[in-house]
Amino acid sequence: MENSAKLIDVVTLGGITTDLIMSVKDVMRFETYSQEEIKKYTAIEYSSKVNVNSLHIVPGGSASNIASDLATIGLKTRHLGVMGKDQNGDIALEDMKKRGVDVSFIKRTDEDLTGLSVILMTGYGKDRSILAYKGASDLVDPEYIREEMIKDAKVLAWTSLTSEKSCAGIQKAIDIAKKHKVLICACPSISIIKKHKEKAISFVKQSNIASMNKEEIQELTGEKTTIQGIKKMLSWGITKMAVSLGSKGSRLIAGEQVIESGIYDIPTTDTTGAGDAFAAGFIYGILNNLSLRDIAKYASALSAFEIKGLGVRIGLPESIQELKEFINSHELKQTELEFKSL
């Protein structure tokens, strides 16, 4: 099947969750220092009761976020995953339907509950700590993954699943994608990297492009610096990489070309889902054959919309035109480098 004849732009495979966003103040923060890095921790006093100042319940999950973000700006997307037959599953499913995501292949089960993430907003900054329960998402298995789910797509974006059988499900999806010349985008989170590192490395080596943050790259490759990690991933066969650097911006790499970008100067409310939005913009740019510089603009802009609201998918543009108008009216500092200079 020629790429132009594909019916679906992007199929995403991974978790479906409901996010409980809790604002808490009665917690402590401490830091540890080493020669390589500074680590920050949120601490709750043992055997204490902490009051929650505010609570928001919103749908989430990296793969479903990417599918929803892209559907919002006009792409045809499909999500693959498993959720429970519960209220949280109802919330997640209805949100994806509302945004135009094809949910016809999502499986619902009594075997487990829909995935759940507890997101702690502490007031120490706009970043957050997350307690993640994969739940029914990890019931994806090879029997669930079928050829008709993937063969008519232009891109397969796989994200983190952490059980043995769900990893086998990812492998089957990759096999189908390769058979039908579907571009494979790796978007693994730290959870699959820490739990099944060798499998995650294998999946990345079978992928064409990747969108990850610096912590994920270093953990996956075992390299001490992001640059060394990027070089290792490129040696594995990744042709284009999007690297999110948080408040420091991003770095996009293709061949010998590197585009370093800052961030759009807008107020930040919540960074949850920013990496997923960045990945969505990266995929959008590749599907539309944009230059590396313009891909960075779209990825950064979609991420900027995401961080304006509390919770994922809140405040996203309602059309691609709105996203383009934002890009045209806001400055993004960019520098072009040669790969050999890194």
pLDDT tens digits, one per residue of 220-258: 999 989 999 999 999 999 999 999 998 889 999 998 899
The pair of structure tokens assigned to 13 is 């495979």
Cα four-point dihedral sign 306, 88, 73, 139: positive
The pair of structure tokens assigned to 110 is 């009594």
**Distance separating alpha carbons of residues 327 and 317, to the nearest angstrom:** 12
State pTM to two decimals: 0.90
Please state the domain extents for the chain: 3-17+61-114+137-341
pLDDT of 325 above 70:
yes
Segment among 24-33, 48-57, 63-72, 153-162 with least mean pLDDT: 24-33
Superfamily of domain 3-17+61-114+137-341: Ribokinase (3.40.1190.20)
Structure-model confidence comparison of residues 59 and 205, the more confident one: 205
pLDDT, residue 217, reads 96
Contacts of 174 (CB under 8 A, 6+ apart): 156, 158, 184, 203, 206, 207
Let me know: does 159 contact 187? Beta carbons within 8 Å: yes
pLDDT of 103 above 90:
yes
pLDDT, residue 6, reads 83
**Distance separating alpha carbons of residues 252 and 238, to the nearest angstrom:** 12
13 pLDDT tier (thresholds 50, 70, 90): very high
Segment among 7-11, 23-27, 188-192, 216-220 with least mean pLDDT: 23-27
pLDDT, residue 21, reads 83
pLDDT, residue 265, reads 86
Percent of the residues in the chain that have a pLDDT greater than 70, as a whole number: 94
The pair of structure tokens assigned to 39 is 């680590």
pLDDT of 271 above 80:
no
Average pLDDT over residues 205-225: 95
The pair of structure tokens assigned to 40 is 């920050």
pLDDT of 182 above 70:
yes
Segment among 107-116, 220-229, 266-275 with least mean pLDDT: 266-275
pLDDT, residue 1, reads 42
**Distance separating alpha carbons of residues 62 and 158, to the nearest angstrom:** 9
**Distance separating alpha carbons of residues 92 and 114, to the nearest angstrom:** 9
Segment among 61-75, 187-201, 314-328 with least mean pLDDT: 314-328
